[in-house]
């Protein structure tokens, strides 16, 4: 009995265990089936045109979901990872089960320095998934890795994904996901990798991200995030890579980032709106390998503490507003391979092949780098043993060019162009056997070139625009040249970030060179520029090594602007046969000789030949027509004679032909009308005769046609008025007759001067005398000057029109002589007091406006300066509107008599201002100055001043394009005064009321140069100097020391008023205390990420946010308290042009 009970108990226990196992197995099977069901649901929700998920099926395919492409499971068939990389194959993670076909890849970014340390690049194409992410993925509760990068997913990230408690890797990089990051990361406490880069996410980085303390990779780059960089990111002690570039993050870089960064290897904060100084605490990040801070508005100095970064390989601080000396402590960064201190080429722009054809430059830079350092480059830096790239163009570096470059075995690229270096080109470069790029152009270097420099092996050697002398040496040529980084390679960024910089700079040099328009696809450019120096001697043979020759090589040898002599072409074309394209510029030298008859056999690969402004003589050989590759031919301003050969019409690819300033005779060959590619034809200043060929009408690409200063006759082909591409046209000073083709936009009176037989121009006409050829119009002087100042010869004899002209002229001269005699007689008899009175009433005129300007006329039309005609009051006096004659309006500024140091000094000063001409300066038409009255006559602008415009802005719809145009116009005017006027002019009172507008919102600056005439005791408002309170630079107000940077400060204040709804001393600032103004307000908002509050609501809603914020940063930069930190007005103009809104 007892035994039976025991057996029953054991049986019951066994059955119970079996029952539990059965229930568990059933439940587990449901869970496994649920994972499979979620995957199928995901598949059905996404477009899959390439069939990436075609194997995902329980019918007809493999039923085991763990063997599906991109799916990885554990030993219990639970899904641990879903990894499908679009456009570059799938990604792989180790697991017990999985598809071994998947590879870790990513697409190649247009942005070249993105994601060091994240992944490798590949080019395996597998297609992409699309649509919206399925919320069902949130049911994969065992999921550790969700990696779906480089697909076409759109919409918001489902909330369900943020609740995956076991998720360690979330990689959705390179899609088109939008929306904001969630305010709460509910369960992602195990997250190690958060990679959401290159999407369309907006908003701020949420504070709830601070819960994911185990993050090792944080990539939010290339989105549209705003706000500031959170301080809590400095608490992520496990972080190895932080990528926040290409966003709209403002404020300063938190110093907290350097507090717990012992594992940080890559920090990329580039291409944001960051301000203030670089935190010195980043010097604590001992494992840092790459630090990218470029394209921000960072200020102050490069921290010397960076010298502690022993493992740093790449440091890029370009395109900021840094100053001060380059810290010598960087010489302690023994692993440093790339140091980019400035960069004129924006790395954020895509490769844009230039169509310009010029042989005097290598890049198409954007001047957006405000880094202006002090002093030289420390020797400690150029001695770094692993330095591969030193890039610091136009960085304000000065001193003697560093001479000790150490062993330099690793050095490959050096760009120190457009600085202030003196001394000689270091002979130490002869030991840099891997150096293939050396740009030292536009410095102050002297001395001779070392024959052992590895120039023949360099792809770029640019020593132009210096003071080098001696001959261009025949360099010792190495038989083996260093390998150049492949343009199509995708370097292993995970291990060598410097390789990306080498590839990028090499690619930009090759793809953005202006020589690109002359090259064939797949060509390799070699560029050697010796131009604009003091080189003497003969032209050497081409300084290119045999290892650089090849059928894909485009070689540019530039030596223009020197003092080279000898016969052309000498031995210069000896290696032409080994080149795909030859480009030669030897212009502006003293080269003589003739163009050889067999030039077509010497260099068949010649595409550009420029020997203009030399002493080449003889005739043009017909064999020039056999140079079938020729695109540009510049032979102007030599001593060529004879006729233009018909054979030039065979050059079907010719785009630029300039033969101006020679002694060519005969007619213009009709064969030139066959050059359908021709864009520029300049045959001016010769002795060509005959008709203008009608075939030129068929040149549909022609943009410039200059035939002036010849002996051409006949009529102007009427069809030229219909050549849509033609932008400049000049046939002045010929013997043309007949009607002028009707095209006011192209054919103006200034284009047809000195052709007395032409029908009368609707504006004016001049005779063909040599005095008339000096011209009354500035435009005509550029293209219509008589060659060598001599008149153009004409046919013998006079026609009837000429006889009538001479008779009329004789009568006019007789009358004028009589008037002169009468004037002298009356002047002699008049009382002296009367003479002085008449002298005081003279009006000096600088610009003819078509009606006489007299003292009496000015006084009468202003109603004796009646208040009813007053249109403004300023520090110099009142301004009046005057209608001199019907429809002719001028503005009269009546000056306060006695404010100037003397009438004679005023005469001298004002005449200087009268010579200034710029489209954004109010034109000073004339003036009157006497002891009792002074006034200036300006052109009248009907749109009022900028002060009125700002006040009334709320009553009209004003978009960003108009505001940008006004800002750019004023900047251009100031840049002209500062940089192009001799002597240069400082305005000293830039403010909205001194900026006038026309009806098209074109802005003109007024009152320029007048402040100079004020005594120091005279003021405009409440300041003790010339200027207006609120707009005056602080150093000017305190010390009375004036500089162009004071105008920059005032401009920055005006720019702030233009884009905000506040005045410089707005009443709303009173709550902040005394001294708080619009500048302080901007400096308060930007670091707090509150830039939106600065702008008018309408402007913020309609304008591009990033451009608006960038403009505000520019205004803040202009108002920096430090003069050295403020940009020049030229730099301001360049920056505003970069922010140009689309038309």
At 260-315, the pLDDT tens digits run: 999 999 999 999 989 889 999 999 999 999 999 998 889 889 999 999 999 999 99
Provide the whole-model pTM.
Answer: 0.72
Provide the pLDDT for residue 957: 66
For residue 282, being part of any structural domain is answered with no
Separation CA 635–CA 662 (nearest Å): 9
Is the same domain home to 586 and 654? yes
Helix (H) or strand (E) holding 177: strand 176-178
Query: Catalytic one among 462, 465, 969, 989?
Result: 989
DSSP, residue by residue, 212-281: -TT-SEEE--SSEE-SB--GGGGG-TT--EEE--SS--BSBPPGGGGTS-TT--EEE--SS--BSBPPGG
| CATH code for the domain in which residue 780 is found | 3.80.10.10
Cβ count near 1101 (within 10 Å): 9
**In 691-837, where do the E strands start and end?**
704-706, 711-715, 728-730, 735-738, 757-758
User: Do residues 214 and 239 lie in contact, with contact meaning Cβ atoms separated by under 8 Å?
Assistant: no
Write the CB contacts of 352 (distance below 8 Å, at least 6 apart in sequence). Answer: 364, 512
- 3-state SS, one letter per residue, for 47-114: CCCCCCCCCECCCCCECCHHHCCCEEECCCCCEEEEECCCCCCCCCCCCCEECCCCCCCCCCCCCCCC
Look at residues 890, 914, 939 and tell me which one is the last residue of a structural domain.
Answer: 939
Task: Return the exposure string of 348-371: e unless at least 16 CB atoms fall within 10 Å of the residue's CB, then b.
Answer: beeeeebeebebbbbbbbbbbbbb
Are 923 and 813 members of one domain? no
Contacts of 415 (CB under 8 A, 6+ apart): 390, 391, 392, 393, 437, 439
- Our measurement of the distance from residue 967's CA atom to the centroid of its chain's CA atoms, rounded to an integer in Å, reads 17
Tell me whether residue 220 is in a domain.
no
Number of helical (H) and strand (E) elements in the chain, helices listed first:
17, 50
Q: Which one, of 522, 505, 616, 607, lies nearest residue 565 by Cα? A: 616
Residue 878 to residue 892: CA distance in whole angstroms: 8
| 436 plus 455 within the same structural domain | yes
Asked if residue 1118 lies in contact with residue 967, where contact means CB atoms within 8 angstroms, the answer is no
pLDDT score recorded for residue 518: 54
pLDDT at 516: 54
Distance CA 87, CA 277 (A): 40
Residues 555-577 as b or e (16 or more Cβ within 10 Å = b): bbbbbbbbebebebbbebbebbe
Domain boundary among 162, 186, 210: 186
Residue in 136, 127, 134 with CA at minimum distance from that of residue 46: 134
Q: Specify whether 465 is located in the same domain as 611.
A: no
Residues 603, 475, single domain; the answer is no
Q: Which two tokens stand for residue 1070?
A: 């009173």
Same-domain check for residues 804 and 906: no
Task: Flag whether 893 is marked binding.
Answer: yes
Give me the pLDDT at residue 1007, please: 82
Q: Check which CATH number belongs to the domain holding 454 and give it.
A: 3.80.10
Q: Are strands 877-885 and 888-895 parallel, antiparallel or unpaired?
A: antiparallel
What single-letter DSSP state applies at residue 592?
A: B
412 within some domain:
yes
Decide if 212 is inside a domain.
no
DSSP 1004: E
**Other C-beta atoms lying within 10 Å of the C-beta of residue 1097:** 10
What CATH number does residue 1091 fall under? Answer: 1.10.510.10
Same domain, 538 and 589: yes
Distance, in Å, from the CA atom of 64 to the CA atom of 61, rounded to the nearest integer, reads: 9
CA 395 to chain centre: 16
Is 989 among the residues known to form the active site?
yes
How far is 46 from 63, CA to CA, in rounded Å?
A: 20
Determine the angle formed by the axes of helices 1044-1059 and 1078-1085, rounding to 10 degrees: 70
* Inter-residue long-range contacts of 619-622, CB under 8 Å, 24+ positions, other chains counted: 619/594, 619/643, 620/595, 620/644, 620/645, 620/648, 620/659, 620/664, 621/595, 621/596, 621/597, 621/645, 622/646, 622/647
Tell me how far CA of residue 630 lies from CA of 443, 525, 627, 692, 932, in angstroms.
Answer: 33, 17, 6, 24, 68
Read off the CATH number of the domain in which 932 is found: 3.30.200.20
DSSP character for 664?
Answer: E
- What's the residue count for the chain? 1143
**Can you spell out the DSSP letters for 756-796?**
TEEPPPSS----SSTTGGG-SSHHHHHHHPPGGGPPPP--S
Whether 572 is covered by a domain: the verdict is yes
End position of a domain, from candidates 186, 217, 241: 186
Residues of the chain with pLDDT below 50 are 22-29, 88-111, 120-124, 350-367, 488-494, 763-839, 1014-1025
Please state whether beta strands 735-738 and 130-132 pair in parallel, antiparallel, or not at all (unpaired): unpaired
**280 in a domain, yes or no?**
no
Among the listed residues 742, 668, 652, 671, the one whose alpha carbon sits nearest the alpha carbon of residue 706:
668
SS3 632: strand
Question: What is the tally of structural domains in the chain?
Answer: 6
Residue 819: give the domain boundaries. Answer: 800-828
956 and 1047 belong to one structural domain: yes
3-state helix, strand, coil in the chain (%, to 5): 30, 20, 50
Is residue 249, in this structure, part of any structural domain at all? Answer: no
- Residue 915, pLDDT score: 77
One domain for residues 433 and 360 = yes
- The phi, psi pair for 661, rounded to 5°, reads 70, 35
* Residue 66 domain flag: no
Please tell me the distance from the alpha carbon of residue 1006 to that of residue 696, in angstroms, as a whole number.
45
User: Can you tell me the distance from the alpha carbon of 992 to that of 977, in angstroms, rounded to the nearest whole number?
Assistant: 18
Same domain, 514 and 564: no
923 and 1014 co-located in one domain:
no
Query: Among residues 159, 161, 167, which one has the least CA distance to residue 142?
Result: 167
Indicate the SS3 state at residue 1129.
Answer: helix
Helix pair 1129-1138, 1105-1118: axis angle to 10 deg: 180
Same domain, 605 and 558: yes
């Amino acid at each position: 009995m007892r035994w039976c009970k025991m057996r029953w108990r054991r049986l019951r226990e066994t059955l119970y265990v079996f029952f539990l196992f059965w229930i568990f197995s059933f439940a587990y099977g449901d869970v496994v089936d649920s994972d499979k069901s979620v995957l199928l649901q995901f598949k059905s929700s996404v477009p899959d045109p390439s069939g990436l998920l075609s194997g995902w099926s329980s019918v007809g395919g493999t039923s085991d979901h763990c063997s599906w492409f991109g799916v990885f499971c554990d030993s219990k068939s639970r899904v641990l990872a879903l990894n499908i990389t679009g456009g570059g194959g799938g990604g792989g993670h180790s697991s017990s089960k999985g598809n071994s076909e998947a590879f870790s890849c990513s697409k190649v970014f247009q942005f070249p320095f993105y994601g060091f340390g994240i992944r490798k690049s590949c080019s395996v194409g597998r297609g992409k998934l699309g649509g919206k992410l399925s919320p069902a993925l949130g049911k994969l509760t065992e999921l550790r890795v969700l990696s779906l990068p480089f697909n076409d997913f759109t919409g918001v990230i489902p909330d369900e994904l943020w609740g995956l408690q076991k998720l360690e890797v979330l990689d959705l990089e390179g899609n088109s996901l939008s929306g904001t990051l969630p305010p709460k990361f509910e369960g992602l406490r195990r997250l190690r990798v958060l990679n959401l880069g290159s999407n369309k996410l907006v908003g701020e980085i949420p504070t709830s991200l601070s819960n994911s303390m185990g993050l090792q990779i944080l990539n939010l780059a290339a989105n549209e995030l705003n706000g500031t960089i959170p301080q809590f990111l400095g608490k992520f002690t496990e972080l190895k890579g932080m990528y926040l570039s290409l966003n709209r993050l403002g404020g300063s870089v938190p110093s907290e980032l350097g507090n717990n960064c012992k594992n940080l290897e890559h920090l990329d904060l580039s291409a944001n709106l960051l301000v203030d100084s670089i935190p010195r605490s980043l010097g604590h990040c001992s494992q840092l390998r790459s630090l990218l801070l470029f394209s921000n508005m960072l200020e102050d100095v490069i921290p010397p503490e960076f010298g502690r970064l022993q493992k740093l390989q790449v440091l890029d601080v370009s395109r900021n507003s840094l100053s001060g000396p380059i810290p010598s402590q960087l010489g302690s960064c023994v692993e440093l391979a790339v140091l980019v201190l400035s960069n004129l080429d924006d790395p954020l722009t895509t490769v844009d092949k230039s169509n310009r054809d010029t042989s005097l430059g290598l890049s198409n830079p954007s001047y957006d780098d405000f880094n202006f350092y002090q002093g030289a480059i420390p020797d400690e830096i150029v001695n770094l043993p692993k330095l591969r790239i030193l890039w610091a163009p136009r960085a304000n570096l000065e001193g003697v060019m560093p001479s000790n470059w150490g062993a330099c075995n690793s050095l490959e690229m050096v760009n120190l162009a457009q600085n202030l270096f003196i001394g000689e080109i270091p002979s130490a470069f002869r030991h840099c056997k891997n150096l293939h790029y050396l740009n030292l152009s536009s410095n102050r270097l002297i001395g001779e070139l070392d024959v052992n420099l590895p120039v023949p092996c360099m792809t770029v050697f640019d020593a132009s625009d210096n003071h080098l002398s001696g001959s261009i040496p025949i360099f010792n040529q190495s038989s083996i040249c260093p390998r150049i980084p492949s343009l199509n390679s995708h370097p292993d960024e995970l291990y060598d970030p410097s390789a990306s910089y080498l590839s990028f700079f090499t690619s930009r040099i090759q793809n953005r060179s202006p020589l690109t328009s002359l090259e064939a696809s797949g060509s390799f450019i070699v560029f050697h520029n010796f131009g604009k120096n003091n080189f003497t001697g003969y032209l050497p043979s081409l300084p290119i090594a045999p290892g650089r020759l090849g059928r894909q090589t485009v070689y540019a040898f530039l030596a223009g602007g020197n003092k080279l002599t000898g016969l052309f072409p000498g031995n210069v074309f000896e290696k032409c046969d080994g080149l795909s394209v030859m480009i030669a510029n030897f212009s502006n030298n003293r080269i003589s000789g003739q163009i050889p008859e067999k030039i077509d056999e010497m260099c068949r690969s010649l595409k550009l030949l420029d020997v203009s402004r030399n002493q080449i003589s003889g005739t043009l050989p017909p064999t020039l027509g056999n140079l079938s590759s020729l695109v540009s031919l510049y032979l102007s301003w030599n001593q060529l004679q004879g006729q233009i050969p018909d054979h030039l019409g065979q050059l079907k690819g010719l785009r630029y032909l300039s033969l101006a300033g020679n002694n060519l005779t005969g007619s213009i060959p009709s064969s030139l009308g066959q050059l359908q590619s021709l864009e520029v034809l300049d045959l001016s200043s010769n002795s060509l005769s005959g008709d203008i060929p009608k075939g030129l009408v068929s040149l549909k690409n022609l943009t410039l046609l200059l035939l002036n200063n010849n002996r051409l006759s006949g009529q102007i082909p009427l069809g030229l008025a219909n050549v849509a591409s033609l932008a400049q046209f000049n046939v002045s000073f010929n013997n043309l007759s007949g009607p002028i083709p009707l095209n006011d936009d192209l054919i103006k009176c200034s284009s047809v001067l000195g052709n007395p037989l032409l029908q009368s121009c609707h504006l004016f006409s001049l005779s063909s005398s040599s005095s008339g050829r000096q011209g009354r119009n500035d435009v005509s002087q550029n293209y219509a000057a008589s060659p060598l100042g001599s008149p153009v010869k004409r046919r013998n004899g006079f026609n009837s029109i000429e006889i009538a002209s001479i008779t009329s002229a004789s009568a006019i001269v007789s009358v004028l002589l009589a008037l002169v005699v009468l004037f002298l007689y009356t002047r002699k008899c008049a009382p002296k007091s009367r003479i002085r009175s008449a002298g005081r009433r003279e009006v000096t005129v600088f610009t003819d406006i078509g009606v006489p300007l007299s003292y009496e006329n000015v006084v009468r039309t202003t109603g004796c300066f009646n208040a009813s005609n007053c249109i403004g009051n300023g520090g110099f006096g009142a301004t009046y509107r005057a209608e001199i004659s019907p429809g002719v309006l001028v503005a009269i500024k009546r000056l306060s008599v006695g404010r100037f140091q003397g009438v004679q000094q005023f005469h001298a000063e004002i005449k200087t201002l009268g010579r200034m001409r710029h489209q954004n300066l109010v034109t000073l038409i004339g003036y009157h100055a006497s002891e009792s009255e002074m006034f200036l006559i300006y052109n009248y602008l009907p749109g009022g001043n900028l002060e009125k415009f700002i006040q009334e802005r709320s009553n009209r719809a004003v978009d960003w394009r108009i505001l940008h145009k006004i800002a750019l116009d004023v900047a251009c005017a100031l840049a002209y005064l500062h940089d192009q006027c001799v002597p240069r002019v400082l305005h000293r009172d830039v403010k909205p009321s001194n900026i006038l507008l026309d009806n098209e919102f074109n802005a003109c600056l007024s009152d320029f140069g007048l402040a100079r005439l004020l005594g120091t005791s005279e003021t405009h408002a409440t300041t003790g100097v010339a200027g207006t309170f609120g707009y005056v630079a602080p150093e000017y107000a305190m010390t009375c020391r004036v500089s162009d940077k004071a105008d920059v400060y005032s401009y920055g204040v005006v720019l702030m008023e233009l884009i905000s709804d506040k005045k410089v001393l707005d009443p709303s600032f009173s709550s902040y205390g005394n001294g708080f103004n619009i500048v302080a307000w901007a400096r308060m908002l930007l670091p707090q990420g509150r830039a939106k509050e600065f702008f008018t609501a309408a402007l913020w809603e309609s304008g591009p946010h990033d451009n608006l914020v960038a403009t505000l940063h520019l205004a803040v930069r202009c108002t920096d308290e430090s003069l050295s930190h403020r940009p020049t007005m030229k730099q301001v103009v360049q920056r505003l042009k970069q922010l140009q809104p689309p038309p």
